[in-house]
């Protein structure tokens, strides 16, 4: 609940006089209020800057340093003020939190300094308001990452745990080439051989003048086939050895085999071995040639050496849906125009547009404004549609691409932010539930107000489960009655009691046929009310304080509304403990789920 609303509680209580004539039962006595000292000003001297505020303002949050008796440790007798040797600029924000109930994070402040001040004054950062929470979390994450990176760099350079096994050393050498000279050498050697292998694959296909000066030109690969074969063998040797070494050194072999890099390695060296095995068989030589294409995958091995390549791959992967949509819209346009062009050119003689798939090629070439010219329309209608095709090609391709690029960057950042927010929300609610302890006097008075409402209406607040158990009991009783007597009375009772059962709750009822056909509705506010006998063995310190300020209520049952108290109420056994055996878990889980007041 906002701190300011607490100031309106007297008004709400006064307005309760409006219920009195309607009530038929007497009201519960009001809680006796502790006569506190008169609300005075407190002077807070923070490194010379004097802040002043009301005592009540600070005591809104009794769980923090300033709101509790902990501040007495900082009381300075001579000047009759509280002195804190801390940063006054950041303190301004902390004091604003007490005043407005919202904690803000100033962007110009250093995140670690801010965190330290919050920790000193006992304020949990999870209650930072929505306006500043994202910025705070971003800065904090950057900071921790930077610290972690620094630590890792230091660790990897200096600290070598002496008892690392040979296997672990090898793995570390593979992953971080900078750890030792041997690893660096290995890193550069493999990089060199990848480059050599790729260059050999490329040069292999270049036509060389044959030595016999014949008219027929052969590719270099065929001319120097032995040399290329030796080169290829050497490269594959190196790659194989590297792969086997990585496989041995990997901490989790199964995970290593599944990883992308290892698949690329396998694909890069497999063609050679397959070629070795099957080189004598003429039938599969065609397939063998195809396999050589896969040797180009060796270039992807560079992604171990280049972080940028990895980022690009990840980028494409995350942008896949946008690219897919572009492809889909292009396909639609291509099919439409190809069909139109085919039918437009059907009439002309010697037309290249022999079928719609044949027209696909024309459409693609025209829409991407390539315009090879190998297929051109000859009829007038064909030319008209061809020009429409090329104009719309500009629109269809040129427009969405920048949109997709910016879309991708926006969506990428947004999804990062959305995931962050989702992760933060859970911890934020948990933090808020733990931290926003409100004034106990406020709590007792609010309980008394709700108690008066109950007395006025002769009904009590209960939680969902108790409500449903009571509904079930009523319906069971009525059903058993109705079985013996007529059904006239039961439908009304059943329908009014249980029509609004929450569909999401799974409820084990022995007579499940009775609950068939109920409408369910989703309950927005879910709150709990726990009826608590004054048992002293399971109370937190706050409840103990509650008891001492409300001595009159000890004879009656005192009600604690978990929706209002956003503090973790200790799980207490309710009177209907038989039906609510799982109540404590329900309570604990519901604390976080409580409506945010």
Q: Which parts of this chain interact with another protein (CB under 8 A)?
A: 1-2, 4-5, 7-27, 29-30, 33, 39, 445-446, 449-450, 452-454, 456-457, 459-464, 466-467, 470-471, 474, 493, 496-497, 500, 523, 525, 527, 529, 561, 563-564, 595, 597
Contact 534, 554 (CB under 8 A): yes
Which CB atom, from 15 or from 247, has the smaller least distance to another protein? 15
Give the shortest CB-563-to-another protein separation in angstroms.
5
CA-nearest of 543, 535, 589, 532 to 565 is 543
Strands 81-84 and 41-46: parallel
Which CB atom, from 525 or from 535, has the smaller least distance to another protein? 525
Which CB atom, from 319 or from 471, has the smaller least distance to another protein? 471
Which CB atom, from 2 or from 487, has the smaller least distance to another protein? 2
For the record, the structure tokens of 169 come out as: 């050393």
How far, in Å, CA of 369 to CA of 394, rounded?
7
Which residues have CB under 8 Å from 165's CB, separation 6+?
A: none
Give the shortest CB-460-to-another protein separation in angstroms.
5
How far, in Å, CA of 564 to CA of 527, rounded?
9
Which pairs count as long-range contacts for 23-28, CB under 8 Å and 24+ apart, including other chains? 23/452, 23/455, 23/456, 23/457, 24/458, 25/455, 25/458, 26/455, 27/452, 27/455, 27/456, 28/448, 28/451, 28/452, 28/455, 28/553, 28/556
- DSSP 8-state code for residue 34: P
Which CB atom, from 18 or from 162, has the smaller least distance to another protein? 18
Which CB atom, from 32 or from 76, has the smaller least distance to another protein? 32
Strands 558-561 and 218-219: unpaired
How far, in Å, CA of 7 to CA of 451, rounded?
20
Give the shortest CB-412-to-another protein separation in angstroms.
32
* 463-466-472 Cα angle (round to 5): 140
Which CB atom, from 289 or from 596, has the smaller least distance to another protein? 596
CA-nearest of 337, 340, 345, 353 to 392 is 337
Which CB atom, from 449 or from 542, has the smaller least distance to another protein? 449
Give the shortest CB-583-to-another protein separation in angstroms.
14
Give the shortest CB-123-to-another protein separation in angstroms.
20
Q: Which helix (H) or strand (E) holds 82?
A: strand 81-84
* Distance of alpha carbon 70 from the chain centroid: 37
| Helices 111-120 and 130-157: angle between axes, nearest 10 degrees | 110
For the record, the structure tokens of 251 come out as: 């901490």
Which CB atom, from 529 or from 569, has the smaller least distance to another protein? 529
Which CB atom, from 25 or from 148, has the smaller least distance to another protein? 25
Q: Find tokens 């059903």 and name the residue.
A: 479
Give the shortest CB-253-to-another protein separation in angstroms.
56
Which CB atom, from 293 or from 597, has the smaller least distance to another protein? 597
Give the shortest CB-471-to-another protein separation in angstroms.
6
Give the shortest CB-453-to-another protein separation in angstroms.
6
Give the shortest CB-171-to-another protein separation in angstroms.
56
How far, in Å, CA of 367 to CA of 385, rounded?
12
Burial letters for 421-449: b for 16+ Cβ neighbours within 10 Å, e otherwise?
A: eeebeeebbebbbbbbbbbbbbbbbbbbb
Q: Which helix (H) or strand (E) holds 223?
A: helix 220-223
Give the shortest CB-320-to-another protein separation in angstroms.
40
How far, in Å, CA of 11 to CA of 129, rounded?
27
Give the shortest CB-148-to-another protein separation in angstroms.
42
Contact 344, 381 (CB under 8 A): yes
Contact 541, 436 (CB under 8 A): no
Give the shortest CB-155-to-another protein separation in angstroms.
51
Give the shortest CB-470-to-another protein separation in angstroms.
6
Give the shortest CB-492-to-another protein separation in angstroms.
8
How far, in Å, CA of 208 to CA of 224, rounded?
10
101: alpha, beta or left? (left if phi > 0; alpha if psi -120 to 50): left
Which CB atom, from 215 or from 522, has the smaller least distance to another protein? 522
Contact 574, 543 (CB under 8 A): no
Which CB atom, from 138 or from 464, has the smaller least distance to another protein? 464
How far, in Å, CA of 133 to CA of 126, rounded?
8
Which CB atom, from 16 or from 356, has the smaller least distance to another protein? 16
How far, in Å, CA of 526 to CA of 159, rounded?
54
For the record, the structure tokens of 124 come out as: 């949990």
* 23-26-29 Cα angle (round to 5): 125
CA-nearest of 135, 116, 137, 117 to 126 is 137
């Amino acid at each position: 609940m906002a701190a300011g609303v607490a100031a309106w509680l007297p008004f709400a209580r006064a307005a309760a006089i409006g219920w009195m004539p309607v009530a038929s039962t007497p009201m519960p006595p009001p809680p006796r209020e502790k006569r506190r000292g008169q609300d005075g000003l407190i002077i807070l001297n923070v490194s010379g800057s004097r802040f002043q505020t009301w005592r009540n303002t600070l005591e809104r949050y009794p769980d923090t340093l300033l709101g509790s008796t902990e501040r007495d440790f900082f009381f300075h007798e001579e000047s009759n003020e509280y002195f804190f040797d801390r940063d006054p600029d950041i303190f301004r924000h902390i004091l604003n939190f007490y005043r407005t109930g919202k904690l803000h994070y100033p962007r110009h402040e250093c995140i670690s300094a801010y965190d330290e001040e919050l920790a000193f004054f006992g304020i949990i950062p999870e209650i930072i308001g929505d306006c500043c929470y994202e910025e705070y979390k971003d800065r904090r994450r950057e900071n921790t990452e930077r610290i972690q990176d620094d630590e890792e760099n230091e660790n990897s350079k200096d600290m070598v745990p002496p008892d690392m096994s040979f296997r672990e050393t090898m793995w570390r050498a593979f992953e971080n080439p900078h750890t030792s000279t041997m690893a660096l050498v290995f890193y550069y050697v493999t990089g060199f051989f990848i480059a050599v292998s790729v260059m050999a694959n490329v040069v292999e296909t270049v036509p060389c003048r044959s030595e016999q000066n014949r008219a027929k030109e052969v590719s270099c690969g065929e001319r120097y086939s032995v040399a290329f074969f030796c080169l290829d063998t050497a490269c594959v040797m190196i790659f194989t050895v590297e792969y086997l070494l990585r496989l041995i050194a990997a901490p989790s072999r199964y995970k290593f085999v599944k990883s992308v890099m290892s698949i690329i390695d396998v694909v890069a060296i497999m063609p050679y071995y397959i070629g070795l095995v099957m080189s004598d068989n003429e039938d599969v030589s065609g397939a063998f040639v195809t396999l050589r294409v896969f040797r180009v995958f060796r270039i992807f091995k560079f992604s171990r050496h280049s972080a940028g390549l990895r980022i690009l791959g990840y980028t494409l992967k995350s942008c896949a849906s946008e690219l897919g949509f572009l492809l889909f819209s292009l396909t639609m346009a291509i099919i439409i125009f190809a069909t139109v062009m085919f039918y437009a050119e059907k009439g002309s003689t010697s037309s290249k547009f022999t079928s719609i798939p044949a027209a696909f090629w024309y459409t693609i070439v025209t829409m991407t404004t390539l315009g090879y010219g190998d297929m051109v329309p000859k009829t007038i209608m064909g030319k008209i549609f061809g020009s429409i095709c090329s104009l719309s090609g500009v629109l269809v391709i040129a427009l969405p691409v920048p949109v997709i690029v910016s879309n991708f960057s926006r969506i990428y950042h947004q999804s990062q932010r959305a995931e962050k927010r989702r992760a933060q929300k859970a911890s934020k609610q948990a933090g808020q539930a733990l931290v926003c302890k409100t004034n106990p006097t406020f709590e007792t008075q609010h309980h008394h107000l709700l108690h008066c409402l109950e007395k006025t209406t002769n009904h009590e607040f209960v939680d969902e489960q108790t409500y449903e158990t009571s509904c079930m009991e009523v319906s069971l009783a009525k059903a058993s009655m109705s079985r013996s007597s007529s059904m006239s009375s039961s439908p009304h009772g059943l329908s009014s009691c249980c029509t609004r059962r929450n569909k999401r709750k799974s409820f084990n009822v022995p007579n499940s046929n009775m609950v068939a056909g109920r409408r369910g509705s989703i309950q927005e506010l879910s709150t709990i009310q726990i009826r608590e006998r004054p048992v002293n063995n399971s109370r937190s310190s706050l409840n103990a304080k509650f008891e001492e300020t409300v001595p009159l209520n000890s004879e009656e049952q005192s009600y604690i509304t978990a929706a209002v108290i956003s503090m973790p109420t200790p799980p207490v056994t309710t009177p209907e403990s038989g039906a609510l055996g799982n109540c404590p878990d329900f309570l604990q889980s519901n604390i976080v789920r409580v409506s945010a007041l």
